[in-house]
Amino acid sequence: MRIYKKITHKRGGLRVNTSVEGKTLEQKIEQIMSNGDKIEAEAELIYTDRKDGVVSGHNIRTDRFEVAVDAIGRTERAETAKRDNVAKLDIVKDDEKPSGTEGEEG
């Protein structure tokens, strides 16, 4: 007689890392210098013209909470407009019902 259940081991979801080791920075610079290749990996342009000002996504003084509140407000207004538009469409559909079907019971 057994007191404990027999433990069965199921196959796990362990995945083997199949990544390959990339070139070091020194090797990349050596290749660029020797072959005269252009630099392929470019970062996003964060500098703008002075007249455009600083992009709020890259400004360290930007209040991220205010940006998030503005985004939520835009989303909320879009959802409200969509909901109001659907309600207007429902009213129009109700008005277009055939006149003989109102008040009849099946």
Q: What is the C-alpha to C-alpha distance for residues 43 and 35, in angstroms, rounded to an integer?
A: 22
Say if 75 falls within a structural domain. Answer: yes
pLDDT at residue 104 is higher than 70: no
Let me know if residue 88 belongs to a domain.
yes
| Cα(66)–Cα(53) distance, integer angstroms | 18
pTM greater than 0.75 (yes/no):
no
| Residue 9 counted as domain residue | no
| pLDDT tens string 26-53 | 988 888 888 877 777 677 777 778 888 8
Only one residue has tokens 């939520």, namely 72
The H or E element spanning position 68 is: helix 64-95
Within a domain: residue 70? Answer: yes
The structural domain count of the chain equals 1
- Provide the pLDDT confidence category of residue 75 given band limits of 50, 70 and 90: very high
Residue range of the domain that includes 67? 60-96
Residue 77 lies in a domain: yes
- 47 part of a folded domain: no
Helix (H, G, I), strand (E, B) or coil at 47: coil
- Asked if 34 and 27 touch (Cβ cutoff 8 Å), the reply is no
Q: How far apart are CA 103 and CA 106, in angstroms?
A: 10
On whether residue 104 sits in a domain, the answer given is: no
Residue 28 lies in a domain: no
Contact 56, 62 (CB under 8 A): yes
